[in-house]
Amino acid sequence: MRDFTIAAYKNLLVSLKEAGYSFATFSEFIQKKPGQRLVMLRHDVDDRKLHSLEFARIQRDMGIVGTYYFRMVPESFDEDVIREIHRMGHEIGYHYEDMDFAGGDPAKAVQLFEQHLETLRKIVPVSTICMHGSPKSKYDNKDVWKHYDYKKYGIIGEPYFDIDFKQVFYVTDTGRQWDGHKVSVRDKVANYFNLSFHTTFEIINCVKNNKFPNIVMFNFHPQRWTDNTILWIWEKYVQNIKNLIKFIVIKLR
């Protein structure tokens, strides 16, 4: 079976369910203290929003929930898609990049943040946010919170600030591999678990062997996952080139 396909994705969810993990949205995790074995499925809807809609449907059909962070750009933001994913019982959050929009000016960034949050809240309730990290940008979108406090806007959580990564194992498909943190410029958290995976199948094996941590946040970019062969080949090779560029960017810093 090829990796980063819908079939591989479904196998991962089935393995987690069979291992007895429960599933929570990020806001549920913040509000209630988690159970023994818990998984958060976080999705950064950077592009190809219909892939996220498909992920949301697969989860709904399996009786599980996830969290979807939407950007304000047309390749992500879509009222109908947002409303539909929310209607299925998933959480919607704001995938902010307002420091980028504001050219690094925090006062302007927080103003844009307020406006964008309001735009999203006209469609669905929003109680958590998550930064978008563009490797091409010179700004770190989290930096706006060096000057302002998101809790003032009724936001109860931002994964990069409100998760104790000593308790919660974090894995991301950044770079279209599960160990892409090695080449990631922004999507980085400290890893206290001494665990690293390359393929989805390695994760599934670890879950089946009962070696996977108890509390986990997965970060998916659904635009990379597809059963369409041409798109799959495109994603694989374009991502290899992007990873090489990111590697060079990191080395030059």
Binding site for Zn ion (CB under 5 A): 44, 46, 132
Number of residue whose CB is nearest Zn ion: 132
Minimal distance in Å, beta carbon 132 to Zn ion?
4
Distance CA 108, CA 114 (A): 10
Distance CA 221, CA 236 (A): 13
Cβ closer to Zn ion: 95 or 204?
A: 95
> Is residue 116 within 8 Å of residue 82, measured between CB atoms?
no
Q: 3-state DSSP call for residue 34?
A: coil
Minimal distance in Å, beta carbon 158 to Zn ion?
13
Q: Which two tokens stand for residue 199?
A: 């393929």
Minimal distance in Å, beta carbon 103 to Zn ion?
19
Cβ closer to Zn ion: 16 or 99?
A: 99
Cβ closer to Zn ion: 44 or 100?
A: 44
Distance CA 231, CA 190 (A): 32
Cβ closer to Zn ion: 34 or 135?
A: 135
For the chain, what percentages of helix, strand and coil (3-state, to nearest 5) are there?
Answer: 45, 15, 40
Minimal distance in Å, beta carbon 20 to Zn ion?
31
